[in-house]
Structure 1
Amino acid sequence: MKKKIKIKSILIIVILFYIVYIFINQQITMKKLKGQINNSKIELTKVKEKNQKLQDEVKMSKTSKYIEKLARERLGLVKQGETPVISNTK
Structure 2
Amino acid sequence: MAVRTRIKIRHLIILFFLFYVVYTLVVQQLKMMDLARQEAELRQQIEMAIQQREQLKKQIQLLHTDSYIEKLARDKLGLVKPDEYIYKSNKSAP
**TM-score, normalised via structure 1 length:** 0.88
Aligned to 2:21: 19
Return the letter of the residue paired with 1:18.
Answer: Y
Displacement of 1:52 in angstroms is 1.0
Which whole-Å deviations, capped at 9, do the CAs of 1:56-83 have from their partners, x for residues lacking one? 1011101111111111111111112322
Q: Report the RMSD for the aligned CA atoms in angstroms.
A: 1.8
Change (3 A) 1:87 1:21: farther
State the distance in 1 between where 2:89 and 2:21 align: 77
SS at 1:81 equivalent:
coil
Change (3 A) 1:18 1:87: farther
Q: Percent identity?
A: 35
Displacement of 1:12 in angstroms is 0.5
- Superposed, which structure 2 residues align to 1:1-90 within 5 Å? 1-87=3-89
Report runs of 4+ in structure 1 exceeding 4 Å deviation. none
Which one is further off, 12-21 or 74-83? Answer: 74-83
Q: 5+ residue gaps in structure 1?
A: none
Q: How many residues align?
A: 90
State the distance in 2 between where 1:42 and 1:85 align: 49
Which whole-Å deviations, capped at 9, do the CAs of 1:25-64 have from their partners, x for residues lacking one? 0111111111111111111111111111111101110111
Q: 5+ residue gaps in structure 2?
A: none
SS at 2:79 equivalent:
coil
Return the letter of the residue paired with 2:18.
Answer: L
State the distance in 2 between where 1:33 and 1:85 align: 62
**TM-score, normalised via structure 2 length:** 0.85
